[in-house]
Chain A
Amino acid sequence: MKYRKLQLFTVYFPLLLTVACLAAACDRPQRILPVLGEKDILDGDTIFHRIGEFSLLNQDSQLVDNRTFEGHVYVADFFFISCPTICPKTTKQMLRIHDAFLDEPRVLLLAHTVDPKRDTVEALRRYARNLGVHSDKWHFVTGDKMDLYGMADDYFSVAMESPDAPGGFDHSGRLILVDEYRRVRSFCDGTDPEDVDRFIADIQDLLREK
């Protein structure tokens, strides 16, 4: 009897504790990504930074605007086809994200050209076709130059014409994650594959929200 009691404490109790700890570890609370950007308080409500209204044309001459992304999360970046510096690397990382979420219809990609003069709809169509991607997943958009550069601000990115920059344009290689309420939730350096690993995990976390 005494032995049984001892056994209860030395064997069963630690075993139970281990199982409980493991279960708690599996059931850890879900990580909620922060909402990025400046916040305003209006009548006691917090107003978050949101992506403004836009209206652009994609590689298939389709209109792409905020409604295109309703009910989706999307990854945005800025690039240009003849870019001699960071664009191929960021596009390669965008392609990784494209492949990782190919079967996840809630994730879309949006690549803005900063060189609308040369990157016409036709040029973007050829680029997307060569890359082997389609407009139901990945929009390559062009539009009015100043509209495009204005959009970059909303995405905390830089896009401007600059004669001193290689290829004639200055732009950041950031990839930006936008949720279905047009709020920026994460970003990464599109030239750094390890940072993009973390970013892909962020997208998965965002999809698990709600």
Chain B
Amino acid sequence: MWTGSSLTFKTCFVKNRQPNELLRRLCGFLAVVLPMVTMPACHDTAYNQGKILYENFCANCHMDDGTGLPGIIPPLMGSDYLSEQQPALPCLIRNGIEGLMVVNGRSYQTAMPGIPQLTEFEITNVINYVNTAWGNAIPPVRHPDVREQLENCP
């Protein structure tokens, strides 16, 4: 991004000591538009904090690519449980879960430990990362909803 902008700047104002009007306008336009176009490329995902939290707290078991370990740890990529149980996720992440769980037709019984140290905001971000990673296309959750769900954990 900065390479593009500085190149534009050099071409326009350093090389041409006396730029004509048209060139000056074009340069001004480029100097504004170029960073706007290239800026989003700096972030490869919309939920960076969620991604970092996922890598630190979840990826050991659910894997970096969200595929889990068949029969032992359920997948998060393309998971029917994930899309159907959205309101239960905040409490599940904070307190963990035990017992039989069926995900994409396969049974899972490994207990998942909770992550009590995550804040409401962090839980919101990690859910939104998982909801949109690896081809998942689940609508984002909102922080006020997550807060309410956490206040009413079973």
Contacts and interface: CB of A to CB of B under 8 A. Distances in A.
Interface of A: 84-86, 88-89, 91-92, 95, 126-127, 129-132
5 contacts: A92-B63, A95-B69, A129-B71, A130-B71, A131-B70
Nearest to A191: B60
Nearest to B62: A88
B71 A88 contact: no
| CB-based closest 9 A-B pairs | A130-B71, A88-B61, A131-B71, A88-B69, A92-B69, A132-B71, A130-B72, A85-B60, A88-B73
Contact of B60 (A86, A127, A132): A86
Contact of A91 (B69, B107, B109, B113): B69
Contact of A84 (B72, B107, B108, B113): B113
Interface residues of B, number: 13
A32 B110 CA distance: 42
Interface string B46-61: 0000000000000011
A88 B72 contact: yes
B113 A127 contact: no
Contacts of A95: 69-70
Interface of B: 60-61, 63, 69-73, 107-110, 113
B39 to A, nearest CB: 32
Contacts of A86: 60
B63 A91 contact: no
Contacts of A92: 63, 69
Given A88-B60, A88-B73, A89-B63, 17 more contacts: A84-B113, A86-B60, A88-B63, A88-B69, A88-B72, A92-B69, A95-B69, A127-B72, A129-B71, A130-B71, A130-B72, A130-B108, A130-B109, A130-B110, A131-B69, A131-B70, A132-B71
**Among B60, B63, B109, B113, residue most surrounded by chain A Cβ atoms (within 10 Å):** B60
A84 B114 CA distance: 12
A85 B113 CA distance: 12
B69 to A, nearest CB: 5
Most buried by B among A88, A89, A126, A132: A88
B60 A91 contact: no
Contacts of B73: 88
